[in-house]
Structure 1
Amino acid sequence: MKRWTLSLVTLFWSLTAIADTDLSELGNRYFSAWAATQSPDATEKDVEHYLSFLKADVAHQHLPYDSDDSRLPDGKESIRKGMLFYLGSHSEYEAILKQVIPAHNAIAMTYTTSSKGVHPQTNELVKLHYTTMDVLEIEDGKIAIIRKYEK
């Protein structure tokens, strides 16, 4: 009986470690894809690659600017539209991933970004440097909810 219990506990720990590794890898790949969309030479192909990580009805909450975390049928399409509007607006961009923390069906990640560019609507020069935490909720291997917190 003790062997069965030990075997089951070992199997559970092994499966948990594998799941955490998969989520960590997903977090790293997601971050790389997102950062590529922000670079000065980003293309529509980069945006589409990033969008491939998201569910069609993905929710995107960006606190404190956007408090709505509703999942809508056109969530992915709304993100595409916004990203294409700002595509190529950075003349300088750097993102540094600090930490990826996997948990059950979510990933928390922290990173810093620095950017400089001209806002496509106002034509004003914008320089930004900030630290961000993203919390990504995963469903069926895709990102269903993005919660973005900036400092």
Structure 2
Amino acid sequence: MKCKLSFLLIIFFSFSARADETLDLKLFAQSYYNAMTATQAPNAGAKELEAYLALLTDDIGNQHIPYQPDDSRTPDGKKQMRKGMSFYLGAHTLFESTLLNTFVFNDTGFAIRYKNYVKGIHPQNKQPIEYTSTMMEVIEIENGKVAMIRKYHE
């Protein structure tokens, strides 16, 4: 009985201590950027995709104007992202990215601005692609995970 009580008290206090800790959003933004860009690498696979998805809530909202104008959060948001991102895994033959800026907004979000250079074969139409883009992602955080992603092109 004492062992069970001790175990429950340890669990209670570890969750209490965790609740008092604040998430270092500057560090989290760097981890997010690293995980996100790893999914774009030519050799990216399920391991990189799952590492990225682990940072997201299950009901993640994702808006990428003009491609995804709807910013609704749905219970299967992460499942939808996994399906969409899996289609493009390995499509790049070259991917370079540079993080330009990180902006932190109190403890509820951050924005990252980065520049990509991409070459590859589009998985749907099998045509060669090559482009450079500067993006900004505005990220909203809930309970230590990414709850909303809004992507903007420069």
TM-score range, shorter chain: 0.7 to 0.9
Distance between the aligned counterparts of 1:115 and 1:82, measured in 2?
Answer: 18
AA in 1 matched with 2:109: A
What residue in structure 1 maps to residue 144 of structure 2? 141
How many residue pairs end up in the alignment?
133
What residue in structure 2 maps to residue 103 of structure 1? 105
AA in 1 matched with 2:24: D
AA in 2 matched with 1:52: A
List structure 1 segments (4+ residues) > 3 angstroms apart after TM superposition: none
In the alignment, structure 2 segments of 5+ residues that lack a partner are 1-20
Distance between the aligned counterparts of 1:116 and 1:31, measured in 2?
Answer: 19
AA in 2 matched with 1:72: T
Distance between the aligned counterparts of 2:131 and 2:73, measured in 1?
Answer: 29
User: What RMSD over aligned residues (CA atoms) do the two structures have, in Å?
Assistant: 1.2
AA in 2 matched with 1:85: F
Question: 1:66 deviation in Å?
Answer: 1.6
- 2:153 is equivalent to residue 150 of structure 1: yes
Match of 1:112 among 110, 115, 118: 115
Question: 1:119 deviation in Å?
Answer: 0.7
What residue in structure 1 maps to residue 132 of structure 2? 129
Distance between the aligned counterparts of 1:64 and 1:79, measured in 2?
Answer: 17
Q: How does 1:2-151 map to 2 (within 5 A)?
A: 22-104=24-106, 105-151=108-154
In the alignment, structure 1 segments of 5+ residues that lack a partner are 1-17
Q: Deviations over 1:51-93 (max 9, x none)?
A: 0000000000001222111000110011101111100000000
TM-score by length of 1: 0.85
Aligned-residue sequence identity (percent) comes to 44
Distance between the aligned counterparts of 2:122 and 2:67, measured in 1?
Answer: 17
Question: 1:128 deviation in Å?
Answer: 1.4
